[in-house]
Structure 1
Amino acid sequence: MRFMQLIPAVAVVGFQEAMQWKFGPLGIACLVLLGIGLKARSTTCTTVGAVVLVLLMTQA
């Protein structure tokens, strides 16, 4: 049962490392904003994180 809980945690850490490698600290900041916005149900925070992340992805 603990193995099934470990898989999403490893996936999240791997995704964060990939984002930091490709987009730098700004990519991590966008993910943090996106995560905080989703947990707090703040559309402003979620939208800002998503828009900046999309802008980073279109530049690369």
Structure 2
Amino acid sequence: MPLAAIVLAAIAVTFEQLIEWRYGPMGIIGFIALAIGIKARNTAFGGIGAIILVMLLAQSG
């Protein structure tokens, strides 16, 4: 179990760094807002994070 937690934490940190490298500070803010919204089951906060990420993805494409 501790090994799985370490692996998941490493994957999460890597994903966050990739988002920040690719999309800058707004990408990390959107990702964090989405993650907090999902954990707290707050659809408004999660929706804001998702909208930020979608706008950044649409802008880069």
The verdict on a shared fold, with TM-score over 0.5 as the criterion, is yes
- By how many angstroms is 1:2 displaced? 2.2
Q: Provide TM-score, normalisation by structure 2.
A: 0.89
What amino acid does structure 1 have at the position aligned with 2:17? E
Match of 1:3 in 2: 3
Q: Provide TM-score, normalisation by structure 1.
A: 0.91
4+ long deviations beyond 4 Å: none
What amino acid does structure 2 have at the position aligned with 1:36? I
Match of 2:37 in 1: 37
CA RMSD, 1 decimal: 1.0
In the alignment, structure 2 segments of 5+ residues that lack a partner are none
Match of 1:57 in 2: 57
- By how many angstroms is 1:36 displaced? 1.2
Give % identity: 37
